[in-house]
Amino acid sequence: MRKSVFSVFLVSLILLSGCSWFQTVEDKPAQELASDGMEALKAGRYEEAISSFEKLKDWYPFSKFAIVAELKIADAYYRLQDYDEAVFAYESFENLHPRNEAIPYVIYQIGRCYFDRIDSVDRDQGSSRKALETFRRLNSQFPDNPFANKIGDHINRCLKTLAGHELYVGLYYYKTKHYKAALNRFKTVISQYPDFGVHRKAIFYVARCEEKLKSQEKEE
């Protein structure tokens, strides 16, 4: 009898509470979530901004604010210097909305994600190459866009770093007496990066490598 009374009480409680058990107390309209996210982003609370924009995407996927949320999530990750997540978010946006007016900005930001990770010439230059490739794509697809006009110095920095890296590797091979490998690196500097401050040194070492290789041939 007690079980029966308790069951009736439990059912009544559920009916009186309606659907509140299946809702979160944080439910907010799409516009409010968008406003919260923008405010957090502006204030530098990037993780909070991501949380608001993610909720907006999940709860209101067909809202006019959802596209903005996708882009701002990428921006927040960029500000956090979480460049891998930022690139993923920007590329997802570009794939989903290839004709959106923000695409030039998106491509620029992808380039910046790689550009901001460029390291010294003695390190791997994958970021330099990716940045250069992305900035050139922006210039090719949107040559008259204001964002394309901002990338000249970025491209020069990429090329200068890549030139310095080729010279660095060439010098390493030269010092370790791998003259043929060194020669190829120095020739790459001359042919691909003739105007970035290291080609004179590369020319000098091309001559030195050729001399060393000739000496090796005679000794054989």
Read out DSSP for 12-55? HHHHHHTTGGGS-TT---HHHHHHHHHHHHHTT-HHHHHHHHHH
Q: Compute CA distances 109 → 10, 73, 79, 98, whole Å.
A: 55, 13, 11, 15
Query: For residue range 44-67, what is the model confidence (pLDDT) as tens digits?
Result: 999 999 999 999 999 999 999 999
Q: What is the pLDDT of residues 128-164, one digit of tens each?
A: 999 999 999 999 999 999 999 999 999 999 999 999 9
**pLDDT at 218 (0 to 100):** 78
Answer whether residue 6 shows pLDDT above 60. no
What tokens does 96 get?
């989903």
Q: What is the pLDDT of residue 210?
A: 95
Give the tens place of pLDDT for each residue, 64-112: 999 999 999 999 999 999 999 999 999 999 999 999 999 999 999 999 9
pLDDT at 26: 58
Contact status, residue 106 vs residue 90, Cβ threshold 8 Å: yes
pLDDT at 9 over 90: no
Residue 22 has pLDDT above 60, yes or no: no
Minimal CA–CA distance to 130: which of 71, 86, 75?
Answer: 86
Residue 219: the pLDDT is 76
Q: What is the pLDDT of residue 16?
A: 39
pLDDT band at 220 (very low <50, low <70, confident <90, very high): low
* Percentage helix, strand, coil for the chain under 3-state DSSP, each rounded to 5: 75, 0, 25
Residue 86: φ, ψ to 5°:
-65, -45
Q: What is the pLDDT of residues 176-218, one digit of tens each?
A: 999 999 999 999 999 999 999 999 999 999 999 999 999 988 7
Q: Structure pTM?
A: 0.85
Number of H helices, E strands in the chain: 10, 0
- CA of 2: how far to CAs of 5, 11, 14, 15, 195, in Å? 5, 14, 19, 20, 91
